[in-house]
Chain A
Amino acid sequence: MSAKSSKSKNLSQEEEALLQDYSRDLSTKSSAFFYGNAAIVSAVPIWLFWKIHQMEPTNNYIYFILGTLFTAYLISFAYKNVKFVLKHKIFQNLDNVVQDEKDKKNEDRSLRKKNEIAEYEATTYSIFYNNSLFLFILLVASFVIFKNFTPLFNYFLSMSIASGLLALFSTSK
């Protein structure tokens, strides 16, 4: 009975690992990493609106905080989606690379290593891609489309559109 229960326990652990790999859900560490990066890139436009659009932080700090939190949420959503799609593509490309470096007898270790590399590359590329796209859309929206709006409306509309489009594009495969 005990052998059977340990075997089933092992299987369920493997299944859990597989489910984790193929799931969109992030570990706590990854979530914190994504939210941190999203908060930083969401806070960068505050400088732009303070110095160039002349929105004083002392008068507008509430709007800046709300805008940053809302945008950070959408950007982290985009990070997660893009990373998920990229990870599987990168994993497939790593097929022939890692096998030579690792002990072929221990396929589990090899797969885990591949998974780590794919995770790392997908995470960094997702952050790079989403940050670049967010800042580009924000600059176009703020200085071309909403150029003649009042600074407050310009801030909310530019940030919403940039982060909204980012979240939208990230849902495509």
Chain B
Amino acid sequence: MKCVIFLLCALLANVVYSETVVDELEDAKLLVAKNVLNNYIVEGLNLTIKYTVHNIGSSPALNVKLQDENFPAEYFEYASGFSVAQWARIPPKSNVDHVVIVSPKMPGMFNLTSAVVTYLPSEKASKVQTGYSTELGEVYIQRLSDYNRRYASQTLNWILFIIIASPSILIPFFLWKSSTNKYQKSKKAKKSN
């Protein structure tokens, strides 16, 4: 009797679980990852942001709109891409990417917040679903001069410095050497006589 009750309970739990899982995945569900592809964020240099939209649901997501107001015109300039991306349909169990290249206009601390994604989770749905991407938190935008001082190639500048500095060393040296050699020769000539 106890075995039968136990088996019935297990069967019931399985059915409830299965139905629950099916309900969760029936509609589309979008997860958005927002990533910075640069190693360094520098004033005036390109900053690449990649948004990856994953549909982990069983239905296609419709009228998907990704919007990121994190880069206002007074602080950033868009070099490539737009702050809004739209897809008519994202199939289930798939993902799409959106890449934006911006250029920071001034150095300092900056808060990289989430982008917003809105979509219809199914064809029958009328209510728009809203989701948020991952956020990166506060980042430091370096000054271009600090970045160049640390990481830029300075080979040409060193070569030019050597060219500029060498006359102040070589010219006095050759003048001294020519005078010394002249009187060294006279001394040798005297000794040989």
Contact = CB atoms under 8 A, between A and B. Distances in A.
Nearest to A54: B145
Contacts of A44: 161, 164-165, 168
Interface string B158-173: 1011001100110011
Interface in A40-87: 40-41, 44, 47-48, 51-54, 56
Interface stretch (A8-16, A24-32, A124-132): A124-132
A100 interface: yes
B39 interface: no
A54 B187 contact: no
Contact of A40 (B146, B154, B158, B168): B168
Contacts of A151: 149
A135 interface: yes
B172 A131 contact: yes
Nearest to B175: A124
B183 A97 contact: yes
A121 interface: yes
B169 A52 contact: no
A100 B154 CA distance: 55
Given A128-B169, A131-B169, A52 B154 contact: yes
Contacts of B146: 54
B26 to A, nearest CB: 59
A37 B165 CA distance: 12
A101 B186 contact: yes
A51 B186 CA distance: 48
Contacts of A47: 157, 160-161, 164
B190 interface: yes
A40 B145 CA distance: 27
B169 A124 contact: no
Given A97-B186, A128-B173, A135 B165 contact: yes
Contacts of A37: 168, 172
B182 to A, nearest CB: 9
A124 B172 contact: yes
Interface of B: 145-146, 148-149, 154, 157-158, 160-161, 164-165, 168-169, 172-173, 175-176, 179-180, 183, 186-187, 190
Given A100-B186, A100-B190, A52 B149 contact: yes
A94 B190 CA distance: 13
Contacts of B173: 124, 128
B149 A94 contact: no
Contacts of A117: 179, 183
A22 interface: no
A123 B175 CA distance: 10
A74 to B, nearest CB: 16
4 nearest interchain CB pairs? Answer: A54-B145, A128-B172, A124-B176, A127-B172
Interface string A103-131: 00000000000000100110011011001
Contacts of A172: none
Contacts of B179: 117, 120-121, 124
A128 B149 contact: no
